[in-house]
Amino acid sequence: MTAEAIVQVSLQERQMSKQSVQTADQLKQEGNQAFKDKHYAHAQLLYSKAIEADPSNAVLFGNRAFAAIRLEEFGSAIADASKALELDPKYAKAYYRRGDASYALGHFKDAVRDFRAAIRLAPSDPDLRRKLAEAEKEQKRLAFEKALATPDEKPVSDEIVLEDIIVEDSYDGPRMEADENGQLRVTLEFIKAMLQAFKEERLIHRRYAFEIILQAQAILKQLPSLVDIDVPADTHLTVCGDTHGQFYDLLRIFDLNGLPSDTNPYLFNGDFVDRGSWSVEIILSLLAFKCLYPQHLHLTRGNHEAKSMNTIYGFVGEVKHKYTAQMADVFRETFCWLPLGFVVGGKVLVVHGGPPVACNATLDEVRKLDRNREPPEDGPMCEMMWNDPMDGPGMVPNKRGVGVAFGPDVAKRWLEANGLQMVVRSHEVKEEGFEVAHGGYTITVFSAPNYCDQMGNKGAFIRFDSDCTPSFTKFDAAPHPDKRPMAYAAGAWSSML
């Protein structure tokens, strides 16, 4: 090649490089606008296209990490922030984003490390200092709890003496009635009055709240980790997905589909609490129905029925604000007794996240699990709360940073090996409130419309008949009082949506 030709090629390469940078910058601006409009998945896609045009730009990876955080894909956020730091070790926002994602996963030591690094580069950022303080506080709390923990530690639930909690004469809310043995009992009349009080933003008395929680806990303790539900001829079962503290949308479900009863059974598939700011009202309502109809109101444990999530995303703060720290502990212990999944009609697995495909656990192995614990970071219990489906074949680490993503071939193989036809799971926002994927092997249902007052999605629920044929109902978000999501989340994290 002549010298003139080499110069010409060099000029062309520079021109192409300049065009790529311009293309990437235009895509970044479009992504920023989509992010501003709260279209996080579209923003993530635009940032990805920008990275294809200019893979050397650290800011693009940092922006995509931020979009991933909004989509709760914390594993992807950590990977993108780490790549940004490879490209630019002095990029403060990349440390910030990686710290946010680590905090969201409960990896407080990693979050502290990254927030400190970010502060060294941006010492005047007050938000960073607040987040560092929160992460250090949680890190110390975990260390303190670990130091105090003993193998035979007595449950907080055992310390509650219900008779010592006096209902004052001045209390003007719903009241429980005593049965012939003097035991306070949950009745339909009480639940209806309680729902109305909650709708008017009034709480029930602490005594009654503890009665509901402890009576429900006793029922849950008698259940196996995987529960079989029959759907006899001429009956049905309604399955709802995440409700996430959106109490007024729970009322909409009941308006559309009727209250739970022995002829109108429901299964709520986890993530009752966190994010929305009426989590206490939702969980007390569902537990009360569990007390009244123990064979016809079913509750699955989701990944947010866990201490690590409740501490960050608002439920613990909400319980402390509305009741007491002791009650938050009793809720935590009750969550540990929630079943991990249900087999409906011998055909359908209903589980919050997905089937335990990575560890290839069988239904019988799940039935034998000791679920009375906080969720581990791997194994069948973890997967059932955290796994997600994906379009492509095979199995890969989940974008969330916990569990795996599984393809249609994996779902089909696991279901057939366990004698099942489909899995119904929740755990993910869907634009129409539900999604049928994997050729019908995997269905997602999500029942929190306009999730966190910003996603614009519909909610949905599924009704199964005795043949386990699903039918879907979509619904829009219900109006609610002017209270923002995560109003009770810890400090600097109340805006992490």
183: exposed, middle or buried (C-beta count within 10 Å: 0-12, 13-18, 19+)? Answer: exposed
Q: Sort residue 45 into left (φ over 0), alpha (ψ -120 to 50) or beta.
A: alpha
Beta bridge mates, 396: 405
Task: Find the DSSP H helices in 222-278.
Answer: 247-257
Quote the tokens at residue 255: 């308006």
Chain-centroid distance, C-alpha 396? 20
Q: Rounded to whole angstroms, how far apart are CA atoms 112 and 91?
A: 17
Question: In a 3-state reduction of DSSP, which class is residue 279?
Answer: helix
Give the number of other Cβ atoms within 10 Å of residue 147's Cβ. Answer: 7
Q: Rounded to whole angstroms, how far apart are CA atoms 439 and 415?
A: 13
Q: Are 282 and 272 in contact (CB under 8 A)?
A: yes
Q: Are 24 and 60 in contact (CB under 8 A)?
A: yes
Q: Are 314 and 282 in contact (CB under 8 A)?
A: no
* Residue tagged active-site, from 244, 298, 304, 480: 304
CA gyration radius, the chain: 25
Q: Are 270 and 304 in contact (CB under 8 A)?
A: yes
Q: Are 456 and 91 in contact (CB under 8 A)?
A: no
304 in catalytic set: yes
Quote the tokens at residue 485: 């999501």
Q: Are 197 and 271 in contact (CB under 8 A)?
A: no
Q: Rounded to whole angstroms, how far apart are CA atoms 76 and 93?
A: 16
435: exposed, middle or buried (C-beta count within 10 Å: 0-12, 13-18, 19+)? Answer: middle
Question: Measuring CA to CA, how many Å separate 37 from each of 34, 41, 67, 107?
Answer: 5, 11, 12, 30
Q: Rounded to whole angstroms, how far apart are CA atoms 454 and 299?
A: 26
Which residues lie below 8 Å from residue 55, measured CB to CB, with a gap of 6+?
A: none
Give the number of other Cβ atoms within 10 Å of residue 285's Cβ. Answer: 23
Please report, as a single letter, which amino acid is at residue 480: H
**H/E segment holding residue 101:** helix 92-104
Which residues are identified as catalytic? 304
